[in-house]
A and B are shown apart, each in its own frame.
Chain A
């Protein structure tokens, strides 16, 4: 198991290097320059040229990128052009709120998606199944920012129950709408996947065997079928987290949440390259780490994968289709 984890951790390094290259590239090869962004349009051409030179903007792209990576290895990801502070100051200050919202949202999505998915599979073609399938379809198709706006209109403007922006003292009430908004689409996809996996699993031979040997229906569903049906769901929960990280940008924009997403948008707009790069890099790191954790969890739970690395003999099964 340790070998597997180490291997996956090592594989993360090139991925992160690649991500930083892409993000740095996107930020560099696009119109506009940071000096104009810092000094404003009132600055003279000489001032702008001088500052650009100071910032090293006139060096070739590769030189700038290598300089960036060199700094990053020593923990220096640059200073923000806007605030003149190390970029990670702002990121760490804002990370907590984004992370809290995302984790709450994913938990809520799992709590909604899995139980309803299981019920709807066990009672296939029943009223419950029909309603939950339609609801899942609907929530998978609704734009998040629209859902957020509808919530604000109903619960803040009409009923006055919940605050619509993150101002004043932050209480649990502030979190309800952003978390629910983010959770719904994810809950819908978890529900659909749980349902289809469960339906597939229920038809497996070993479930029929369990029934044949006289196990109670409860036992069959929860002990034999559910465990196997949930395995692929775990992977999806990991992938959905990445989707949530994207969704946070939009939800943060609507509810005025001072999180990483809004920091990223502001930085990109202001051509604050170090800050924007660091934001996307950090969110991607989070994404990659979560996927890794989920994969390890998966390997830990699924005896088939564990066996590959535990038994001493590593069976190479890269492409099952090719064997």
Chain B
């Protein structure tokens, strides 16, 4: 019994120290910290979008006396061809982009973890069969697959998310699989097998937590990529429908009037770039912080 107590009290401590170790290394990288702060700031602003601006009045209602205004205190990003405040539209658009990017990556990540760990754990025929199917999906360029799915399902946010989930599963599964592969041969997995633990228990308790580093890094980068893809698909008219704003659709509107005003092009695009850039910086920083080669 005393041994049991000792184990239990030690376990959370060990886990905490690993997180602290990664955080300590992550904090050292200025770029990664910069990215983290910027992305948190953007998430907070997007969450409180309705406090900062009024959706109906600023982002949707048309004010023909205030078209093509340059940036000012009242309209930080200027106004568009309907006299709508571009800042408000970008703010609400960012919310849509973040929701689509994060939810599609989260869904794809869960499915990929499930598929990837099963094929890597069982190996053999299951592995060969599933990987051949994924090879087929990988044959279609990711963005083309997303466009094809989104376009045939019809425009709309739910279809857009579905298209992005399906198109990123193959690549994601491959990454999870290769991360899990290295772990299935570890002695502690063998020990767990010898103990008679069920495969599900081993995968969830022993394998996935250890593959988590790679998966989190991939997921961070994936959110960035999905936000870019969301914008691209919306730009083609496959995402959010007018008049509701989305970063890509704001740009698509701005394309029509860019002869008269540049602000509608400049700010939404910069916003997408800053979001993607910060997420990539965080991902890079995480990868360096989790890199086992640097571990002592």
Contacts and interface: CB of A to CB of B under 8 A. Distances in A.
A143 B269 contact: yes
B144 A246 contact: yes
Contacts of A19: 136, 139-140
A3 interface: no
Interface string B253-296: 01100110010011011001100110111001000000000000
A14 B272 contact: no
If over half of B's interface residues share one DSSP class (helix, strand or loop), that class is named, otherwise mixed; here it is helix
B50 interface: no
B251 A269 contact: no
Chain B, interface size: which category? 35 or more
Nearest to B251: A146
A146 B148 contact: no
A162 to B, nearest CB: 15
A26 B258 contact: no
A319 B284 CA distance: 27
B185 A321 contact: yes
Contacts of A153: 258, 262, 265
A283 B141 contact: yes
Contacts of B281: 137
Nearest to B276: A141
Contacts of B144: 245-246, 249, 264, 280, 283-284
B181 interface: yes
Contacts of B255: 149, 254
B295 to A, nearest CB: 17
Interface stretch (B13-21, B59-67, B109-117, B151-159): B151-159
Contacts of A269: 151
B55 interface: no
B142 interface: yes
Nearest to A17: B136
Contacts of B262: 153
B136 A31 contact: no
B147 interface: yes
B140 A31 contact: no
A253 interface: yes
B219 interface: no
A286 to B, nearest CB: 9
Nearest to B149: A26
B136 A30 contact: no
A254 B140 CA distance: 22
Nearest to A265: B236
B181 A149 contact: no
21 contacts: A14-B132, A15-B136, A15-B139, A19-B136, A22-B137, A30-B154, A137-B277, A137-B280, A142-B269, A142-B272, A143-B235, A143-B269, A143-B276, A146-B251, A150-B269, A153-B265, A242-B141, A246-B144, A249-B144, A276-B148, A283-B141
A69 interface: no
Nearest to B128: A318
B135 interface: yes
Interface stretch (B2-10, B74-82, B192-200, B224-232): B224-232
A212 to B, nearest CB: 23
Given A140-B280, A145-B232, A322-B181, A249 B143 contact: yes
A234 interface: no
A144 B235 CA distance: 11
A243 B140 CA distance: 10
Interface of A: 14-16, 18-19, 21-23, 26-27, 30-31, 137-138, 140-146, 149-150, 152-153, 157, 242-243, 245-247, 249-250, 253-254, 264-265, 268-269, 276, 280, 283-284, 287-288, 319, 321-322
A150 B153 CA distance: 31
Given A18-B137, A146-B231, A280-B140, 15 more contacts: A15-B136, A22-B137, A23-B148, A137-B284, A143-B251, A145-B251, A149-B269, A153-B258, A242-B141, A242-B142, A246-B142, A249-B143, A264-B147, A265-B151, A321-B181
B136 A18 contact: yes
B273 A15 contact: no
Give 3 nearest A-B pairs by CB, closest first: A246-B143, A18-B136, A146-B269
A287 B140 contact: yes
Interface in B47-103: none
B78 to A, nearest CB: 14
A157 B143 contact: no
Given A137-B281, A143-B228, A143-B232, A243 B272 contact: no
A153 B256 CA distance: 12
Contact of A243 (B142, B147, B284): B142
A322 B258 CA distance: 57
Contacts of A142: 269, 272-273, 276
Contacts of B241: none
A84 B10 CA distance: 74
Nearest to A273: B152
B139 A157 contact: no
B273 A138 contact: yes
B234 to A, nearest CB: 10
B1 interface: no
A14 B136 CA distance: 8
B235 A145 contact: yes
Interface string B121-144: 000000000001101110111111
Nearest to A192: B284
Interface string B236-258: 10000000000010010011001
A26 B152 contact: yes
B182 interface: yes
Nearest to A287: B141
B189 to A, nearest CB: 13
